[in-house]
Amino acid sequence: MRTATIRGVLGLAISVLFLDGCPPSFSPSCSGDECVGVDATCKNNVQCNLARGPSWVCRSSTQRCVNLASEDCKRILGDTSHDDAVVVGSVFPVEGSYQLWGKPIENGVELAFDDFLQAGGLPPLPGKTQRRPMVLIACNDGANALTAIRAARHLTEDVGVPAIIGSAYSGVTTEVATKVTIPAKVLLISPSATDPTLSTLADDGLVWRTCPSDVTQASAHAALMKILEPDLKTRLSADKLKVVILHKNNSNGRDLGDALMSVLKFNDATATHPSNGNYFRRAEYVMQGGTNPDPIPAGPGGEWIDELAAFKPHVIFLLGTAETVYSIIPMIEDAWPIVSYRPFYLLTDGSAIPQMANALALAPEARQRMLGTKPGTGGENFKGFVRDYRSRIHDGTSPEATGAVNAYDAFYTLMYAIVALGDKPMTGPNIAGGFSRLIASAPALPSGPAAIHEAFRLLTEGSSFNYEGASGPLDFDMTTGEPHSDIQLWCVREDNNGKITDPITIPAAYFSTTTPNPTGGWPAIRQFCDL
């Protein structure tokens, strides 16, 4: 084991433990009442720190030393010696090939952690005077459900955390929720799981998210079609447009496809209206040997590619994850017949992947016919998050990566809900109830460190406030555990060297929860993205 205090990606002093293995069960430098042996009970965290190492704490429910670290949970941030420390976990893909997706999300959590650290920690418990430090156990799941379940069981069964932030993906989040956190009465809050089925999960009120359901993105897509349609008809000299909804053959893809079909209109009719019988198709693709999500899949199967090319759609709603740009778009472009146009692709946040130039290497020209959506907003709170991220995190990741800002808000709302408990036990159900204190009509408090102490004052006095997140309004629905969220737009451009950029959020162009059309309008979107 090695222990270090570093100036890490946040550029601030945070105690971080990097664990290569377990320390001995009894330290030779420890003596007297502060020592505990292998089978002895403990009275406080200091005893376990001294006897076994700084990753060990005294679990109050069993009065035994427990190791906060495990094979999946190797990073521990915060002061583990304080008995009133608030200990929570995070579970994301932060190692291996999937860290391109998971690391920005974990960074969002740690950026928020650092905000509260600079504020001096959380307010004291009622009747006490010393502020409470926070401890974050950062775990890796490799985008694998089995690994995520193992990490979550360590956090819930071994450590006994009351809440976990994660995971990055809907399928993994559902597995962790149903097999670990719900049975354990632990709160789970995801910053990027958008599957609509999570809204109706039998979760006893314990599964939350700071991103909206894909149903919200479906509404944004329908609105995009409304403003895109007249432009395409003019450019292509087409009286009617042909449209395809193409999605992955999993529950998330099908649910999003269903949601989009229920609101999509074009050619002056709904998608399913008989008048669009010759102008609309819906299809799904099968991942051969892939999992959800799979960054470099083997590709789709079946006859759909030939049928789609023969149909010659003007617009393709492509609903999936990384495989959409790595495989699906290149396959469509390769199979496309010799006609005067190529399709325009409308994508979701699942396609907004890092290293877009590599992903589109087989079809670089398609970037001028791509436009995507993702949860979030272009408001001032988001801009403040972007500035802080870029000034304090220097590992090459982007603050605009999907889920990063939502993870930042997840930690903020979780800490505020814990402060709202007062002297109530810090349990998953009680924390869930604390979210109700963050959706009052007034006063409004923004995300970010400047508002933390005022938020503490209101919560400790028994008052409420309206938390305005960096990712959007975050007015939680207390029944479904999800927010009403704005939707951002993204595209990819060429830089000055002619290289395709990573997905870029379009400035001042987003769908508000209160308006049906994007701010900025279609001409500004088209000009910014060079569409």
Handedness of CA 184, 74, 198, 192 (dihedral sign): positive
The answer, yes or no, to whether residue 202 has pLDDT greater than 70, is yes
Residue range 407-417: average pLDDT? 98
pLDDT of residue 422: 93
Q: Is 355 inside any structural domain?
A: yes
**Is 45 part of a structural domain of the chain?**
no
At residue 246, the pLDDT reads: 94
Q: What is the domain-level CATH number for residue 418? A: 3.40.50.2300
236 belongs to a structural domain: yes
pLDDT at 44: 94
Q: How confident is the model at residue 432 (pLDDT cuts 50, 70, 90)?
A: very high
Mean of the per-residue pLDDT values of the chain: 86
Distance CA 452, CA 316 (A): 44
Distance between CA atoms of residues 334 and 175, nearest Å: 37
How many domains does the chain fold into?
2
Please give the structure tokens belonging to residue 422: 């007062």
Question: Is the confidence at residue 72, as pLDDT, over 70?
Answer: yes
302 and 403 housed in the same domain: no
Residues 123 and 143 in one domain: yes
Q: Is residue 397 part of a domain?
A: yes
Which pLDDT score is estimated for 508?
A: 67
Residues 467, 500 share a domain: no
Q: For residues 221 and 331, state if they share a domain.
A: yes
Within a domain: 35: no
Q: 95 and 148 share a domain? A: yes
Rounded CA-CA distance 165/151 in Å is: 12
Whether residues 237 and 352 share a domain: the answer is yes
What is the average pLDDT across 325-344?
Answer: 90
Integer Cα distance of 106 and 389 in angstroms: 12
Whether 219 and 205 map to the same domain: the answer is: no
61 pLDDT higher than 50: yes
CA distance linking residue 458 with residue 440, whole number of Å: 12
User: Quick one: pLDDT band at residue 288, thresholds 50, 70, 90?
Assistant: low
37 domain-assigned: no
Same domain, 168 and 301: no
- Per-residue model confidence (pLDDT) at position 301: 46
Roughly what angle, to the nearest 10 degrees, separates helices 404-419 and 452-460? 30
Residue 33 has pLDDT above 60, yes or no: no
Better pLDDT: 484 or 275: 275
Q: How far is residue 176's CA from residue 165's CA, in Å, rounded to a whole number?
A: 11
459 pLDDT above the threshold of 80: yes
Angle, nearest 10°, between helix axes 404-419 and 380-392? 100
397-410: per-residue pLDDT in tens?
989 888 999 999 99
pLDDT of residue 294: 38
47 lies in some domain: no
Shared-domain flag, residues 342 and 388:
no
Give the C-alpha separation, 460 to 421, whole Å: 9
Question: What pLDDT score does 70 carry?
Answer: 96
Q: How confident is the model at residue 3 (pLDDT cuts 50, 70, 90)?
A: very low
Is 522:402 a contact under the CB 8 Å cutoff? Answer: no
Residue 517: pLDDT band by 50, 70, 90 thresholds? low
CA-to-CA distance for 179 and 160, rounded, in angstroms?
16
Question: Domain containing 173: what range?
Answer: 2-19+69-211+383-484
Torsion of CA 289, 490, 398, 495, to 10 degrees: 100
Given a contact cutoff of 8 angstroms between Cβ atoms, the answer to whether 489 and 509 are in contact is yes
Instruction: Please tell me the predicted confidence (pLDDT) of residue 26.
Output: 37
Confidence (pTM): 0.81
Do 81 and 179 have their domain in common? Answer: yes
Verify that 338 and 390 share a domain, yes or no.
no
Do 252 and 173 fall into the same domain? no
Q: Band of the pLDDT at 286, cuts 50, 70, 90?
A: confident
